[in-house]
Structure formats: C-alpha cells, structure tokens
Structure 1
Amino acid sequence: MRAVTVTPDSDDPLEVRELPEPDPGPGEMLVRGLALGVCGTDREVVSGGHGALPEGREWLVAGHESLGRVSRAPEGSGFVGGDLVVGVVRRPDPVPCGACARGEFDMCRNGRFTERGIKGADGYGAQAWVIEPEYAVKLDAGLKRVGVLMEPTSVVAKAWEQIERVGGRSWFDPQRVLVTGAGPIGLLAALLGKQRGLDVHVLDRHAEGPKPAMVRDLGAEYHTEDIERVMSDLAPDVVVEATGAARPVFEAMAGTSPYGIVCLTGVSPSGRRITVDAGSLNRDIVLENDAVVGSVNANLRHYRQAAEALAAADEQWLERIITRRVPLDRAVEAFDRQSGDIKPVIALDPSAE
C-alpha cells in the first residue's frame, strides 16, 4: 500500500512511500483509507514545530483528519464491512491521569497521551490502517464526500460543549455569537451555532473568495471590518475565536456583553508582541463576570456529537469547505497553502470519488 509519510524538519520532509499492508492485531479492525484532511497542525508536524515521532523511528505516517471504510471488523465490535468510519486522534496516557481514566482524554493532565499522525503514533494518511473499534466512530453512509470533516467538527463540538458548561454556572441564554476566522474551524463553529438557533456573525479579513457567500448561505452575517468596531456594534454573548491572532484574541476578551464567554480554539504563534491595557481588561472580565476558556482536541463524546451535526447539515454546503481534492501521488501539494484554500483533502482511494 501507499502512505504519506513525514520526516520532520528535513530537506524533503514529505514522501509518498510504499509500506507493508497493516496486519490487524487481536480485537482490531482493518480500514481502507478514503480521504485525509490537511490542516495547520499537520504543517507544524512537517516543520518539526509540533508533535513527536513514534519511538525508534525518524518518520511517521501523516495525518489525523481521517475517513475510511471498514474492510474487516471483529465479531461483536459493532462494525461490519462497508461501514464509513473516522478514527479518533488521541489515545489516553498509559498511567492514566484522572481525566484519561474517565474517558476525558482530551483533557489529559500529565501529557503522556499519544495522537495519531501527531504525537508518538502513525496517522491515517495511508490506503489502509488498523484501529481499535472503541476508537472508531461510524458516520452516516451519505457523508462519504464530506465525512473527512469529522475531526475538525469534533473540535468545534467540544468547544460548544465547553461554552455551554461554563455558561451553565448561572442562568445562560445566549442570543448572539461572533466567530472570528472563517477557516474550517470557524465555518464549522458557525454551522453549530446556527444549529443551536443563534444569531451568528463571522469576522474574517477576506472580502473575496468563497467565504462570504458560504457564511450568508448558512444564514449568518459576514464581516470584514476592524474587530474593535465589530465587537462594539455586536456586543456578542459568545465569541468563538478561531484565528489565534493576538489582536482578535484580546479584543474579543474586552468586548463581549456582560457575562460573556470567549472560547479560544486557535493556537497563537509565539514571539509576537502587542500592547494591551491589562488592567482595563482584567477590570472588564471581573466586573462583568466574563469567562475565557481554551479548548482543544476531542473525546469520543464529541466525535459522536460531530457525526450528528454533519448528518443534520446541508451536504452541498459542507462540500464547499473542501476547496481542493489532491490525488495521493501528488499529496505533497496539499500541504502547501494556496490562495482561496479552506480545506485541502488528499484522496487516498481515487475509486471512491
């Protein structure tokens, strides 16, 4: 079989190479890879800025945004041949910490978890992969074109769960949400906001391209003005911050309605400095009972929530998030940012297209 592999921080870090067909161990199932999504985390792994290799190896199979079809499943696993599935990214640490022991491995406290395609374990960027049934999630059969969006949707599902849990500390009846950033996470956050019946607004810097129409077709409002003005005009009850850019992060914290919640989902690069009136920001957060929460990764519960959200969404709208489908033999191209990109996807099985 062929697989996309990464040798981080080398002269030619990406390679499509021939590897032996995987042999499922006891209790594992064999899955035929259909598609692999590529995101900023994957690019960080390629550059050596994030993640870790499997022990004793100088490379790993790339990718954590999976989609596959079950080829062979153990009896009694709940899966049968032909099922459309996605693999969960993270595995709990072997110790385990309290969170991992309770199935909340997305909140691991000692950092000894592994992540397929990212930290210490091969990813899903192969024409075949094996997985434990308890870490696979079944998708509606009609999602074969867009099911590769499951992993980023799980991240967003967790973010919304976190928002609702924090809001539940008291009476909570949000009406208006601002999503900053219209990449895959931002668009999917807007989708789940609309599914909750909220007045959704999306702020992005791109006035051209597919994003404005996608947001409008979702029934949300698209903004390109300065964030300070947008926050002042909207005073949103909830902000889902999906850019990781320093200024939107701090403007969001300072501009919500009283008892507002800011959920940070974008990872900021280090080394960039801005001037912030920390005293004023602290005063606003305290006096208005505001909350700021970071959210990353997902556990099985969030994957199942994501599967439900995708099944309830307009499939044609979801497919517009996937702006490029790259054949496996040109997989390296999917890791290069291109103008107009939202989500590039590698087609692991051309016959499935």
Structure 2
Amino acid sequence: MTMQAVILKDNALELAEVPVPEPGPGEVLVKTLANGICGSDLHCVTHSHALAAGVKAVTGADLLDPAKPVVMGHEFCAEVVRNGPGTQGTHQPGARVVSPPMLARPAPVNLGFGGVEAPGGYAEYMVLTEALMMPVPDHLSSEVASLTEPLAVALHAVNRGALGADDVPVVIGCGPIGLAVIAVLKMRGVGPIIAADFSPARRALAAEMGADIVVDPRETSPYDSWHEVAAVDDQARYGRQTALFPELPFRPSVVFECVGVPGVIQQVLAGAPACSRVVVAGLCMAEDTFLPTFGVLKEIDLVFSLYYSVEEFAQTLGHLAAGELRAEPLITGRVGLAGVPAACAGLADPDKDAKVVIVPGL
C-alpha cells in the first residue's frame, strides 16, 4: 500500500509515491488531517546539511540524514486509523489527535526530520507513539489543533522569559513564532506588548494577535516605544537597577528575538534597556557574532529557547480547547500536498503568508 508524500531530496521538494508506514510496538497509524509549514522546514530545505551538522555537533545525535529523502512536517493534527502491536487502544479509529513530534523508539525519531519509513505531516499517513498522543476536542478544528506545536514553542519561550506582572515585553520579528509569542503574552494579560517588523502584513497580523504597539523599525525604534509606555512614577515598580544605570524610572523589560538572522542579537543588545532579559527564540542557521560589552555593561540576561516540554504541549492544547489562546488569524493559507513546494517558496515573501497549513485532502 502506498501514499502520497512530499519528500526533500537534494535541497528540493517533490511529490512522490511512498509506502504507507507500518506502526511498531506501542505505535499507531494515523491519517494526516492538517500540518503547518514551519520556518525550520524552510531552513531544512536550504540548509539541511548545516542543520544536521549543527545538531550533531551540539547534541551528538543525528537529527536527519541529508543523503536520504526526508519527509518533513512536525505541526500536525491526525486521525487514528489503526492501533499497532502492544498498544492499549487508548484512542480508537476515527479519533483526532495531536502529539509532540517524537517517536519514542530505542533510537528516538524526530518526526518531520525522518525518512519515508517514519514520515512527518507532509504525507497522507504517519505513525505516532500512543503514549504521547493527545485527543482533540470535537469543537476544535483540525487546522487550529495543528498549531498546538508552534504555540507550545511560544509558550515555552514566554516561560523562559519568566515575566513578572509589571514587565513590558518587546517582540522583535513578527513571523509565525513572534506572532505566537504575542498570542501567549496576550492570553496571560502581560502588556502593553510592543512588536516590531519590517513587513506591513506582519505588523497588521501582530496587531490582530494582540500587540498594543506595532512599529516599523525603519521609522520608529521599538525601544523608544518601550521608554514611552514603561515610564512610571512609582519607585516600587522600577525595574532592576545597577551601578552604571541607577534610578531608571521604568518598568522591567523582556525582549523576544524572533528573527533568527545574523546580527539581530547584537542589535537587541545595543537597543534593549539596561537589565533587560532577552529571550532568543529565532533559529539562526549561520555563524553570528555580538559584542559582550553591551550585555555586560547593561547587565542583560541572555536566554535561549527551543521546543517545549510534553507538559507545555498539553497545556497549549488545553488553552486552545478552552478558547483562551487565539490562533485562527495565524493561518493565512491552505494547500494540498501538490501545492507544498510552491507554498514553501512563497513563504520567502513575508507579505504573502504567515502560516500555511497543508490539508492533504485538498
């Protein structure tokens, strides 16, 4: 039995006919209902060798094998087709589920970076680990449910920011992760939220997702906007003070770097207020440099963020199900499997789309 899948081979995407995967012990065969195209997928298309080498150097693990066809897709909602050997039957055929994109095998597989034998959501069918699967409530659409994964990334980034009740957040870059960070901040009632992006379309989406102040950094510095809204008269609300920056009459700040382009961390260190916490959520695939003096003299806390815990993934799904986390505006396009190569190419234009969801049945 075969299925359609979009494979990455030699830095190009193509629609192919591949075998339907067979679930192993504790695994379930599922039918893909919706899968979001992620920025890391686009990085993988153009930088698969660098991505594999970087992960190997840092973790010692093989994320993917660029020499073999890869079936991407790690933001998915799926329907149970058949429970495999050794499963408990927790989710019956027809049930809709989401899952962290991981197969809990003796040699774990990161779904979305595996081969045709363990495909991600750029395919009609997948296999999932039963113990990691979570049911999707009937009232939640499959497309919105597929956003659980990127929103969990944002939830984790906000958690890493450890914001207090009086912090004023600044979001640099309003791509899918920056927009998701804004949505999580809005859900938690943190604000005012300042967002910055060069793209008019992304700025409009940032406002729709809940940003209170949205600026074009070519015209207005987001840090100038921070100074305007963070100023307070009450000393009890002042942020942390240092010997070089005493008695600053401003609330604390947390800056989310959601761009992932060389040079942006230095720009943030230069522009961010003293004693800021900077959360780097953008995935930069190239070598970067910055001047530590800026961070040292300003006593900036630099925090890096990636992925999430299983608990954070489950919490994100719960927030979506409860209507606490607004996600629908993130979806700006839908394509079938045949439209994936063109959609990935089109996402290079920030004014065209934010989040494109693959619906295999289209």
TM-score range with shorter-chain normalisation? 0.7 to 0.9
- Decide whether aligned partners of structure 1 residues 228 and 114 sit closer, same or farther in structure 2, where only a CA change above 3 A counts: same
Once the two structures are TM-superposed, the CA of residue 91 in structure 1 deviates from its matched residue by 5.5
The 8 Å contact of residues 323 and 342 in structure 1, kept in 2 or not, is answered as yes
Partner of 1:303: 313
- Decide whether aligned partners of structure 1 residues 58 and 232 sit closer, same or farther in structure 2, where only a CA change above 3 A counts: same
Which deviations, in whole Å up to 9, do the C-alpha atoms of 1:142-201 show, x marking residues without a partner?
A: 13231221111111121122222xx6xxxx444311111111111111111111111122
Please list every run of 5 or more consecutive structure 2 residues that lacks an aligned counterpart in the other structure: 53-61, 231-251
Matches within 5 A, 1:165-176: 172-176=164-168
Residue 197 of structure 2 is aligned to residue 204 of structure 1: yes
Mapped to 2, the partners of 1:117 and 1:135 lie a distance apart of 16
Task: In structure 1, give the amino acid aligned to 2:130.
Answer: P
Partner of 1:324: 333
Which deviations, in whole Å up to 9, do the C-alpha atoms of 1:304-326 show, x marking residues without a partner?
A: 122123224478x5222111111
- Decide whether aligned partners of structure 1 residues 260 and 309 sit closer, same or farther in structure 2, where only a CA change above 3 A counts: farther
Task: In structure 2, give the amino acid aligned to 1:50.
Answer: L
What's the TM-score once normalised by structure 2's chain length? 0.76
Partner of 1:105: none
Matches within 5 A, 1:222-261: 222-224=214-216, 225-234=220-229, 237-256=253-272, 259-261=275-277
The 8 Å contact of residues 66 and 125 in structure 1, kept in 2 or not, is answered as no
- Decide whether aligned partners of structure 1 residues 335 and 295 sit closer, same or farther in structure 2, where only a CA change above 3 A counts: same
- Decide whether aligned partners of structure 1 residues 126 and 178 sit closer, same or farther in structure 2, where only a CA change above 3 A counts: same
Mapped to 2, the partners of 1:80 and 1:204 lie a distance apart of 44
- Decide whether aligned partners of structure 1 residues 213 and 53 sit closer, same or farther in structure 2, where only a CA change above 3 A counts: closer
Residue 147 of structure 2 is aligned to residue 133 of structure 1: no
Partner of 2:242: none
Once the two structures are TM-superposed, the CA of residue 34 in structure 1 deviates from its matched residue by 1.0
Mapped to 2, the partners of 1:335 and 1:65 lie a distance apart of 15
Mapped to 1, the partners of 2:89 and 2:270 lie a distance apart of 49
Mapped to 1, the partners of 2:63 and 2:211 lie a distance apart of 43
Secondary structure (helix, strand or coil) at the match of 2:35 reads strand
Partner of 1:4: 6
Task: In structure 1, give the amino acid aligned to 2:307.
Answer: N
The 8 Å contact of residues 231 and 252 in structure 1, kept in 2 or not, is answered as no
Partner of 1:103: none
What's the TM-score once normalised by structure 1's chain length? 0.78
Matches within 5 A, 1:182-201: 182-199=174-191, 200-201=193-194
How many residues are paired up? Answer: 316
Once the two structures are TM-superposed, the CA of residue 87 in structure 1 deviates from its matched residue by 3.0
Residue 154 of structure 2 is aligned to residue 161 of structure 1: no
Secondary structure (helix, strand or coil) at the match of 1:122 reads coil
Mapped to 2, the partners of 1:124 and 1:213 lie a distance apart of 26
- Decide whether aligned partners of structure 1 residues 230 and 150 sit closer, same or farther in structure 2, where only a CA change above 3 A counts: same
Secondary structure (helix, strand or coil) at the match of 2:278 reads strand
Partner of 2:34: 35
Secondary structure (helix, strand or coil) at the match of 1:26 reads coil
Q: Given the alignment, which residue of 291, 308, 317 partners 2:301? A: 291
Which deviations, in whole Å up to 9, do the C-alpha atoms of 1:258-297 show, x marking residues without a partner?
A: 65321110022425667x4x42431111xxxx42110112
Mapped to 2, the partners of 1:53 and 1:263 lie a distance apart of 24
Identity between Structure 1 and Structure 2 (%): 26
Residue 279 of structure 2 is aligned to residue 263 of structure 1: yes
- Decide whether aligned partners of structure 1 residues 313 and 247 sit closer, same or farther in structure 2, where only a CA change above 3 A counts: farther
The 8 Å contact of residues 53 and 60 in structure 1, kept in 2 or not, is answered as no
State the Cα RMSD in Å: 3.0
